[in-house]
C-alpha cells in the first residue's frame, strides 16, 4: 500500500510540474520519463483527478478458453500415438480435421492424459577426421568450386593452422591457378612445402607444375574419386 501511495505522489509531481511549466521536454528531462508516459498520466489526471493516477491492470476480466470436446481430445491422443510433438499435432489437426488449437491447449490435453514427453534419439555423430600436419605449410590443400554462373572460388587451407585463403575468378584455368598460387604464397606467413589438389586440368597444366618446381614445392594430387581427402 505504501509503495502505491509513493507511486501516486511521484506521478502527481510529474503532472503538477507539467501544468505549471507546460514544457513536456523539461519535465521529461528532470524526472527521467518519456513523453508518452507523461501524456498518459496528464490525461488520466485531467479526466479522473487523483483516482486517475492509480495503476490499472491491463488484464482482461475474463480469459475464456476454447472448449475442448472429447472428440478433439481423442484426435490429439491418436496423433500422439504417431510420436508427434505439439507443433506437429497442431498442424495435423488443421490438415485432417480443419480444427485450430493452440499448442498450450494441446500440451494441457497431453498432460491430463499423463502422456510421457517424447524422448529424442540422436544418432552418434561420426568423428571428423582432420588430415592435420604438425608444421605450418607442410601441406596446403587447394581446391576450386563453382558458386555461381561464371564465378569460381579458389580456396587454400593449411593442414596445420587451418588458415584459409580465398579468391574469386571468372573461370577455373591454369592461368588463374598460377595467379592464385602466387596469392597464397604472399598471404600465408610461412613457407609452403607441399600442395595437394584434385586432378583438375587447371592444376596439371605445365605452367602450374613448373611454377611449383621453381618454388621447390612438392605436388600431391589426391586419389581419383576421393574428394573427401581434400577437406
pLDDT in tens, 195-222: 999 988 999 999 999 999 999 999 999 8
Residues 173 and 106 in one domain: no
Q: What is the mean pLDDT of the segment spanning 175-188?
A: 94
Q: Which residues touch 204 (CB under 8 Å, ≥6 apart)?
A: 221
Q: Which domain holds residue 102?
A: 70-112
213 and 148 housed in the same domain: yes
Quick one: three-class SS letters along 141-158? Answer: EEEEEEEECCEEEEEEEE
Query: Do 107 and 171 fall within a single domain?
Result: no
Residue 225 confidence (pLDDT):
58
Same domain flag for 89 and 27:
no
56, HSE (Cβ side, Cα atoms, 13 Å) = 10
**Is residue 38 in some structural domain?**
yes
Are 15 and 88 within one domain?
no
- Cell numbers given for 123: 544418432
- Asked if the structure places residue 206 within a domain, the reply is yes
Residue 126 lies in a domain: no
Which residue bears the cell 587454400? Answer: 156
Per-residue pLDDT band at 51 (split at 50, 70, 90): confident
Mean pLDDT (whole number) for 221-228: 68
**Whether residues 25 and 77 fall in one domain:** no
The candidate with the shortest Cα–Cα distance to 135, out of 78, 173, 177, 192, is 192
What confidence score (pLDDT) does residue 230 get? Answer: 56
What length does the chain have? Answer: 231
The more confidently predicted of residues 202 and 60 is 202
Q: Are residues 179 and 219 in the same domain?
A: yes
Tell me: do 150 and 203 sit in the same domain. Answer: yes
Structural domain total, the chain: 3
pTM over the 0.75 mark: no
Whether 47 and 76 map to the same domain: the answer is no
74 and 47 in a common domain = no
Single out the residue of 161, 215, 216, 224 nearest to residue 197, CA to CA.
Answer: 224
CATH of the domain at 200: 3.30.420.10
Assess if residue 64 is contained within a domain.
Answer: no
Which range, of 38-52, 127-141, 158-172, 181-195, averages the lowest pLDDT?
Answer: 127-141
Cell of 218: 612438392
pLDDT band at 129 (very low <50, low <70, confident <90, very high): low
Residue 59 resides in a domain: no
Q: 145 and 87 in one domain?
A: no
Q: Are residues 168 and 209 both part of a single domain?
A: yes
Is 42 a domain residue?
A: yes
Amino acid at each position: 500500500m505504501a509503495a502505491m501511495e509513493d507511486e501516486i505522489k511521484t506521478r502527481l509531481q510529474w503532472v503538477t510540474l507539467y501544468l505549471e511549466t507546460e514544457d513536456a521536454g523539461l519535465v521529461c528531462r528532470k524526472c527521467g520519463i518519456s513523453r508518452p508516459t507523461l501524456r498518459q498520466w496528464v490525461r488520466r489526471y485531467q479526466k479522473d483527478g487523483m483516482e486517475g493516477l492509480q495503476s490499472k491492470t491491463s488484464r482482461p476480466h475474463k480469459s475464456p478458453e476454447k472448449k475442448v470436446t472429447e472428440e478433439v481430445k481423442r484426435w490429439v491422443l491418436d496423433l500422439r500415438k504417431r510420436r508427434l510433438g505439439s507443433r506437429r499435432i497442431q498442424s495435423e489437426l488443421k490438415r485432417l480435421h480443419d480444427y485450430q488449437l493452440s499448442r498450450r491447449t494441446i500440451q494441457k490435453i497431453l498432460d491430463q492424459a499423463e502422456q510421457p514427453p517424447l524422448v529424442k534419439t540422436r544418432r552418434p555423430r561420426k568423428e571428423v577426421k582432420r588430415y592435420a600436419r604438425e608444421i605450418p605449410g607442410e601441406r596446403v590443400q587447394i581446391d576450386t568450386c563453382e558458386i555461381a554462373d561464371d564465378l569460381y572460388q579458389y580456396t587454400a587451407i593449411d593442414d596445420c593452422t587451418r588458415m584459409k585463403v580465398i579468391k574469386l575468378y571468372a573461370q577455373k584455368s591454369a592461368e588463374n591457378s598460377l595467379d592464385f598460387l602466387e596469392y597464397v604464397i604472399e598471404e600465408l606467413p610461412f613457407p609452403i612445402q607441399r600442395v595437394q589438389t584434385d586432378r583438375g586440368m587447371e592444376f596439371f597444366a605445365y605452367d602450374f607444375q613448373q611454377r611449383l618446381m621453381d618454388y621447390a614445392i612438392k605436388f600431391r594430387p589426391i586419389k581419383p574419386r576421393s574428394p573427401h581427402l581434400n577437406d
